[in-house]
Amino acid sequence: MPYEKLEINTPAPVLSWANHALGHEETQMAKNVASLPFVFKHVALMPDVHLGKGALVGSVVATKDAILPAAVGVDIGCGMAAIQTPYHAEQLEGKLKKIRLDIEASIPVGFNENKDVEKSITNWQHWHDFKDLHRGVQDLQGKAMKQMGSLGGGNHFLEVCLDTEDRVWLMLHSGSRNIGNKLAQCHINTAKELAKLAGDRLPDPDLAYFVSGTSEFAAYWRDLQWAQNYARVNRDVMMARFKRVVEKHVAGGKPFKPLLEVNCHHNYAEKEVHFGEDVYVTRKGAVRAQTEDYGIIPGSMGAKSFIVRGKGHAESYCSCSHGAGRLMSRNKAKNVYTLDDLIEQTKGVECRKDTGVLDEIPGAYKPIDEVMNNQSDLVEIIATLKQVVCVKG
């Protein structure tokens, strides 16, 4: 769909692909960001946009000479990974529960971590950079090592999916775990302290920022890149274990070569060139969708997901949505829905069906088909997936 320019009076315009009116709080959050003096050209809102902290989830913000730590968020490098296997649906028959139990045994979820650290993790080339990270995390290297290859909680998940041709895909959603959270909190607090000292009158304290050329900016950028690398490798480690589980049950342990592999961030910042200028692009709940970029747009634990390819739409800063987007808060979902609703909405999916995941019920999310229709100018759909196994964090 074509984007629309929101009718709000801000120094930088706000372009929206959401195809619906923003609520009062959402509109104010968009205004706050678009009023910052270093925002470049305009702010882009994706179809799944909803309330966040400081900046809207589902927003893309390009900045000149400054960066907003809270806009990146606390799960630095959170994103998705997926692989297409050579297997087909009939090869999974009668095996789904065993596959789910083996996934849960192989990959720690929630607050759990690995009991032992495997060699591929200890050999990661960036561990030697740990000593240069923010001093507030210096005692966390051991924990970070044990958490690499773990899922986390909330809306993180691992899924076995089928596409419309009954081909089997493996997909997961996770980020930089506790270490990314701690690094983010350290720098967000520093930015807020600097804003107070400078007497900055920010529209929201969570929009405290760092200016390029300062030591604080350099320290945040270094830690940000480290955490983004950690998040990507964390997904790689989990996917390798996930792949071995499926190989064991489908092919007697014989390894397969993926037909397609995708690993993309959706909470992160990078240096990019847009409209002929060097800028810092922060995607808070958005995926890069440059021409030929592959991305992943998941629905919910009972809905379709999509493998997409970017169209390089300039006005979106070559971006697309990162999912369906929440329709209601976690607390509201728990109050509105029952366990029977969850069982009904996840029919046909091998997954947990208890009150512990009630806040992740499909009804708490926006309809994914509507979200996809609203970004047909941003991406083309390569594969449509539906889960048959779902492991939640």
Give pLDDT, residue 346.
93
Is 80 annotated to bind a ligand? Reply is: no
Is 324 annotated to bind a ligand? Reply is: yes
Is 50 annotated to bind a ligand? Reply is: no
- Reference 83, options 188, 170, 11; nearest CA is 170
Phi and psi based region of residue 316 (left: phi greater than 0; alpha: psi -120 to 50; beta: remaining):
alpha
- The H or E element that residue 294 is part of is strand 294-297
Give pLDDT, residue 220.
98
Is 253 annotated to bind a ligand? Reply is: no
Q: What is the model's pTM?
A: 0.95
Q: Annotated catalytic, 313? A: no
- The H or E element that residue 285 is part of is none
The residues facing 81 across adjacent strands are 172, 263
Is 298 annotated to bind a ligand? Reply is: yes
The residues, any chain, with a CB within 8 Å of residue 337's CB and separated by 6 or more, are 358, 361, 363, 364
φ, ψ at 22 (rounded to 5°): -75, 150
Give pLDDT, residue 1.
60
- Reference 106, options 182, 170, 178; nearest CA is 170
- Catalytic: which of 42, 187, 313, 322? 322
Reduced to 3 states (helix: H, G, I; strand: E, B; else coil), residue 109 is: coil
Is 184 annotated to bind a ligand? Reply is: no
**pLDDT under 70: residue ranges of the chain:** 1
The topology under which CATH files domain 4-327+365-392 is tRNA-splicing ligase RtcB (3.90.1860)
d(CA 211, CA 334): 41
* Pairing status of strand 379-392 against strand 210-211: unpaired
Token duo for residue 59:
């927003």
The residues of the chain that CATH labels 3.90.1860.10 are 4-327+365-392
d(CA 225, CA 222): 5
Give pLDDT, residue 393.
80
Is 75 annotated to bind a ligand? Reply is: yes
